[in-house]
Amino acid sequence: MRLPSWGWALLVLVLVLAFNAAFTPGFFGLEIREGRIYGSLIDILNRAAPVALLSLGMTLVIATGGVDLSVGAVMAVAGAVAASLIARPSGNPLAGIDLGGSIPMIVLASLAVALACGYFNGILVSLLGLQPIVATLLLMVAGRGVAQLLANGQIVTFTEPGFQRLATGSFLGLPNPVWIVAAAFGAFSLLTRATALGLFIEATGSNPVAARYAGVNAKRIKQAVYVLSGLCAGIAGLILTADIQAADANNAGLYLELDAILAVSVGGTALTGGRFSLVGSMFGALLMQTLTTTILTRGVSPEITLVLKALIVVVVCLLQSPVFQQRAARVLRRAQA
């Protein structure tokens, strides 16, 4: 039997959870306080939310054969816009805009800016035909500059319970970010599996020339996935900003683009484009966070997480590499003979 592409991610996730079941007391403990569920598992779901959101958009981008390095910076931009619009500190370039303190308007405005960032990436990749790595590198470098410009070079802090609820509130016992991820996952699944968009994305990624002959407008598909990725990054940025009640243009979402790419490739989507798995990316994001939480709860120094991540990248790459599979098969055959 052949494993689904996300089989490895799920297997490792189960192994890590099994390890915790055996060695970390109380890891699976859940308790309900004030109508809200608490516990390590919920904590993992909650903390995995930003990377999970990023990896949804990233999955589609990678499936078209591209990559979006700018998502971390776009998170910072969205956060800076939201925080500036809420706090409106004097001297801030956005201080003159009065949305009447309406949270939905502020959220919409921030997401619009994130969408614009994604649109910009899309134009560079689809219309101008630039390599995705370089095209998105641009916004990755300049985006943090723009975020600092919008925040006037300061860490903008605010107190706005309505906005904070986005990250700290809960619904039916589960934290809001978990619901946001679930909704985004549902929307993306519908969009790609209930419509032909998923097929078009896979066609664009596996063979752009053939896709064009088959009548797929590859340019528009590419444009669309970068916009979606920008939107996901915007939502993730808002969650992060609401969580810490501040927008830090330098550090918000730093290196999260790499975590998202890692989650996507661990989840079985090949970086070369073509077939993708949104479920796999979710497992990938959960695996990353489960590892981090495991290391923290076991009191191992957190730097080890980075080394572990490095090992996972290499192992997953090897497992997916045809050359390695052939060699491993040869070694196995020799061992049996």
Q: Which residues contact other proteins by CB under 8 A?
A: 65, 67, 124, 128-131, 133-135, 137-146, 148-149, 153, 208-209, 249, 254, 258, 261-262, 265, 271-272, 301, 303-307, 309-311, 313-314, 317-318, 321-324
> Which residue is it, tokens 């958009």?
57
Helix (H, G, I), strand (E, B) or coil at 3: coil
CB nearer to other proteins: pick between 156 and 181:
156
For the chain, report the end-to-end CA distance as a whole number of angstroms: 23
Shortest approach of other proteins to residue 258 CB, angstroms?
Answer: 6
Which string of DSSP letters, residue by residue, matches 94-118? Answer: TTT---TT-HHHHHHHHHHHHHHHH
* Nearest CB to other proteins, comparing residues 9 and 178: 9
Q: Which is nearer to other proteins, 50 or 208 (CB)?
A: 208
Residue 251: phi, psi to the nearest 5? -115, -15
Nearer to other proteins, 164 or 204 (CB): 204
Residue 156 or 178 having the CB closest to other proteins? 156
Could you tell me how far CA 222 lies from the centroid of its own chain? Answer: 18
**Residue closer to other proteins (CB basis): 172 or 307:** 307
Tokens representing 313 are: 């990248």
Within a 10 A sphere around the Cβ of 237, how many other Cβ atoms? 34
Q: How far is the CB of 73 from other proteins (least distance, A)?
A: 9
Q: Which residues of 52-68 are buried (b: 16+ CB within 10 A; e: fewer)?
A: bbbbbbbbbbbbbbbbb
Token pair in block for residue 234: 């915007």
Nearer to other proteins, 47 or 144 (CB): 144
Return the DSSP state at 4.
P
Q: How far is the CB of 55 from other proteins (least distance, A)?
A: 14
Element (H, E) at 49: helix 49-63
Shortest distance, CB of residue 300 to other proteins, whole angstroms?
11
CB of 66 to other proteins, least distance (A): 9
CB of 35 to other proteins, least distance (A): 39
Q: How far is the CB of 241 from other proteins (least distance, A)?
A: 18
Beta-carbon contacts of 228 under 8 Å, excluding residues fewer than 6 positions away, are 57, 60, 118, 188
The CB-of-306 to other proteins minimum distance in angstroms stands at: 3
The residue ranges of DSSP E strands in the chain, in sequence order, are 31-33, 36-38, 156-157, 170-171, 174-175, 246-247
Our CB check for other proteins shows the closer of 30 and 311 to be: 311
Among the listed residues 293, 278, 297, the one whose alpha carbon sits nearest the alpha carbon of residue 232: 278
- CB-based contacts of 4: which residues, under 8 Å, 6+ apart? 268, 277, 280
**Cα 28 to the chain's mean position, in Å?**
25
The residue among 176 and 269 lying less far from other proteins, judged by its C-beta, is 269
Whole-angstrom distance, CA of residue 67 vs CA of residue 219: 15
The CA distance from 226 to 221, in Å, is 9
Least separation in angstroms between residue 101's CB and other proteins is 28
